[in-house]
Structure 1
Amino acid sequence: MVKKYKIEIPAAALRDTDLEPGDKLSLSVSHKQFNIRPANVIDQLPQINIWLYTVPALLAMVIFFVYTRSQAIRQIALNGKDYSIANGATLLGMICGLVIFTITAIWTKIHRTGPTKELYWRNLPTIVIATGLILVFSLYAAFWLLWRMFMDASFDIYTSSVMIFIIIAVINYVMINLAMTLTTSVITNLLTIMIIGGMVFSILTNSSRDWWKHNFSFLGTAENSANFQFNVTLIFSGVLMMTLVDYLFVNLQKRFLGKKILVLRWLLYGLSVCIASIGLFPNDPQFHVLHDRISMWLVYIILILIATVRWLLPAVTKQFLVLSYVMGAIMGAEYIIFKLTDYLSLTAFELLEFGLAFSWILLLLQNIENLSRFGHNLFIVTVEDD
Structure 2
Amino acid sequence: MSKYRVEIPQEAMENTEIPKSGPLVMRVHRHQLVIEPENLASIVPQIKMRWYILPAILVAILVFSQLYADRIQLVPLSGPASSLGNIITAFGGLCGIGAFIITFISEKIRRTGPAQQFSWRMLLPIAMASGLILVFTVYALFWVLSQLFGGATFDIYTACIMIAISIAVINYIMINLSMTLSPGIITNLMTIMILGGVLFSMLTNGRKNWWRYNFSYLGTAQSGSSMQFNLTLIFTGILMATLVDYLFVNLKRRYHNWRIEISRWLLFGLAACLAGVGLFPNNQEFHYLHDQISMWLVYLLLILIIILRWILPMISKNFLRLSYLMGAVMAAEYIAFKFVRYLSLTAFELLSFGLALSWTLLLFQNLEYLIQSDSEILDVNLVVIKHESDNQD
* Global fold match (TM > 0.5): yes
Q: What corresponds to 1:176 in structure 2?
A: 175
Alignment correspondent of 1:290: 289
Counterpart mapping for 1:163-312 below 5 A: 163-312=162-311
Matched AA of 1:57: A
C-alpha separation in 2, matches of 1:46 and 1:295: 42
Aligned to 1:340: 339
Aligned to 2:45: 46
Residues 45, 176 of structure 2: 8 Å contact kept:
yes
Contact 2:12-2:378 within 8 A present in 1 as well: no
Answer whether contact 1:76 1:84 (CA < 8 A) is retained: yes
What's the counterpart of residue 142 of structure 1? 141
Distance 1:40 1:311 in 2: 48
- Determine the structure 1 residue equivalent to 2:387: none
SS in 2 for 1:37: strand
Which secondary structure state, in structure 1, belongs to the residue aligned with residue 150 of structure 2?
coil
User: SS where residue 76 of structure 1 aligns?
Assistant: strand
Aligned partner of 1:381 in structure 2 is 379
**Partners of 2:328 and 2:124 in 1: how far apart?**
38
Superposed CA offset, 1:35-58 (max 9, x none): 333343221111111111111110
Q: How far off is 1:358 after superposition?
A: 0.3
CA contact (8 A) 1:10 1:379 kept: no
Distance change in 2, residues 1:10/1:315 (3 Å): farther
Q: Which amino acid aligns with 2:219?
A: G
Q: 1:344 to 1:16 in 2, by over 3 A?
A: same
Corresponding residue SS for 1:87: helix
Alpha carbons of 1:382 and 1:308: their partners in 2 closer, same or farther (altered >3 Å)?
Answer: farther
Compared with structure 1, are the counterparts of its residues 350 and 100 closer, same or farther at alpha carbon in structure 2 (3 Å cutoff)?
Answer: same
Greater alpha carbon shift after TM alignment, 320-329 vs 160-169: 320-329
3-state SS of 1:4 partner: strand
User: Taking structure 1 as reference, are residues 5 and 86 closer, same or farther at Cα in structure 2, changes over 3 Å only?
Assistant: same
- Code of the residue aligned with 2:272 in structure 1: it is V
Which residue identity is paired with 1:291? Answer: H
Deviations 1:302-334 (A, max 9, x none): 111112222322532232222212211211111
Q: 1:270 to 1:115 in 2, by over 3 A?
A: same
The amino acid that maps onto 1:154 is T
**Residue matched to 1:4:** 4
1:8-63 CA distances to partner (integer Å, 9 max, x unpaired)? 54444334335577765433333333433334322111111111111111011111
TM-aligned CA deviation for residue 87 of structure 1: 0.6
Shift of 1:195: 1.0
Q: Structure 1 vs Structure 2: percent identity of aligned residues?
A: 51
Structure 1 range deviating more: 315-324 or 91-100: 315-324
Letter of the 1:200 counterpart: L
Deviation at residue 130 of structure 1 after TM alignment:
0.6
Q: CA deviation at 1:124?
A: 0.6
Letter in 2 for 1:209: K
- Contact 2:8–2:380 at 8 Å: present in 1 too? no
- Runs (5+) with no aligned partner, structure 1: none
In 2, distance between residues paired with 1:380 and 1:93? 45
Q: CA 1:141 to 1:20, structure 2 compared with 1: closer, same or farther past 3 Å?
A: closer
Describe the superposition over 1:327-376 as per-residue Cα deviations: whole angstroms up to 9, x where unpaired: 1121111111112233321111101100010011000001111112332x
Structure-1 residue corresponding to 2:371: 372
Q: Distance in 2 between matches of 1:28 and 1:145?
A: 44
Segment drifting more, 83-92 vs 39-48: 39-48
Structure 2 length-normalised TM: 0.92
Deviation of residue 114 (structure 1)? 0.8
In 2, are the aligned partners of 1:337 and 1:343 still within 8 Å (CA)?
Answer: yes
Distance 1:364 1:159, change over 3 A: same
Corresponding residue pairs, total: 384
Cα separation, partners in 2 of 1:380 and 1:314, compared to 1, 3 Å: farther
